[in-house]
């Protein structure tokens, strides 16, 4: 089991590194999108290559971060029933889900995407849009993204088995602190409170002006 736990740590390290890189990729997407919008509105100039780069990068974020998101237990879970069961039963359900749902779906998509990418690479496929980009880098993201997700599933499976053996902590436990959903909700509430305060100040100022 020691070998498998070492393998799990290696897989987690890979997905963490990729996830950290994708964070910076998100900044690149914002800058590219903002630049495209400014140039289009101010100079009335548009480039298909730069527009396609936006969705290339968006696809990269979505696909490459899938394994990291799974590692962080941030994927959506519908566990209304399972959360009422014992932790050991929950982990057994996790193992069942990884083996019979996650692996088959991800492996199938990974396998089918390989010829999809290879054909595009060999044919030097270009975008159908004038001045667009080559297609194979975008199609390469599919097997890479699902490959990382398969590895994350394997790591999760190892940790689940280790938990049942009493040698690993709970792999389904979220990191300490608020979840992404809770942080987003807090940010929305903060912005709403600021807008309400600003509106109240404006109403007071208007009342005084009268």
* pLDDT tens profile 173-182: 876 666 666 6
* Cα–Cα distance, 199 to 115 (Å, whole number): 57
pLDDT at residue 41 above 90? Answer: no
Distances (CA, A) of 205 to 3, 156, 165, 191: 69, 58, 67, 21
Tell me the CA end-to-end span of the chain in Å, nearest whole number.
78
CA angle 21, 95, 176 (to 5 degrees): 50
Domain map (residue ranges) of the chain: 2-176, 180-210
- Residues β-bridged to residue 134: 126
* Cα–Cα distance, 104 to 100 (Å, whole number): 6
Q: Global pTM?
A: 0.81
* pLDDT tens profile 124-145: 998 888 888 899 999 999 999 9
Return the pLDDT at 209.
Answer: 54
Length of the chain: 210
């Amino acid at each position: 089991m020691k070998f498998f736990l070492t393998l799990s740590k290696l897989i987690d390290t890979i997905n963490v590194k990729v996830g950290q890189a994708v964070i910076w990729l998100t900044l690149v997407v914002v800058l590219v999108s903002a630049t495209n919008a400014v140039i289009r509105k101010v100079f009335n100039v548009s480039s298909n290559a730069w527009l396609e780069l936006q969705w290339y990068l968006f696809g990269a974020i979505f696909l490459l971060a899938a394994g990291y998101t799974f590692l962080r237990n941030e994927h959506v879970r519908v566990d209304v029933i399972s959360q009422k069961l014992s932790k050991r039963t929950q982990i057994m359900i996790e193992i069942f889900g990884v083996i019979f749902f996650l692996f088959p779906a991800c492996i199938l998509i990974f396998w089918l995407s390989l010829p999809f990418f290879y054909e595009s690479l060999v044919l030097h496929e270009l975008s159908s849009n004038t001045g667009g980009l080559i297609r194979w880098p975008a199609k390469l993201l599919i097997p890479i993204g699902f490959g990382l997700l398969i590895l994350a599933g394997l790591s999760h499976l190892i940790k689940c088995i280790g938990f049942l053996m009493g040698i690993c902590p709970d792999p389904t436990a979220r990191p300490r602190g608020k979840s992404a959903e809770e942080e987003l909700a807090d940010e929305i509430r903060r912005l709403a409170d600021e807008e309400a305060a600003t509106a109240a100040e404006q109403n007071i100022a208007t009342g005084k002006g009268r």
